Amino acid sequence: MSITSNRKLDDVKSAISKGHFDLDQLNDLRSFIVSVSVSNAKRSISVGDNVWIVQKTKREQGVVVKVNIKKAVVEMRGGRYNVPLSMLELV
């Protein structure tokens, strides 16, 4: 990410924290962000890609076997798992 992108991101974060949004507006914003991240992941991830499965406290590497509408089938640790697209990042 470039310096200008970081500044823009910081501007958005400060606008959200200084804004006087109610809980419904913040939930709408969160669902919008998740839907954008899922659509970006779906465009960039395809079968055979090496991906990171990102959780709160750890990251594990796997290989995409199939891409579904909201989840991908990822092979890792000797098994196949359905993983939400929002939890995947390309290696």
Task: Please report the pLDDT score of residue 1 as a whole number.
Answer: 60
Stretch 29-53: mean pLDDT = 90
Stretch 9-22: mean pLDDT = 87
pLDDT higher than threshold 80 for residue 85: yes
d(CA 82, CA 41): 15
Q: Strand, helix or coil at 29?
A: helix
Stretch 54-75: mean pLDDT = 94
Two tokens, residue 3: 């310096």
Q: How confident is the model at residue 41 (pLDDT cuts 50, 70, 90)?
A: confident
Q: Where are the domains of the chain?
A: 3-90
Task: Please report the pLDDT score of residue 70 as a whole number.
Answer: 87
Q: Which residue has the higher pLDDT, 63 or 41?
A: 63
Task: Please report the pLDDT score of residue 51 as a whole number.
Answer: 96
Q: Which numeric CATH code is attached to 3-90?
A: 2.30.30.140
How deeply is 64 buried, as exposed, middle or buried, from its count of CB atoms within 10 A (0-12, 13-18, 19+)?
buried
d(CA 1, CA 63): 25
Task: Please report the pLDDT score of residue 28 as a whole number.
Answer: 94
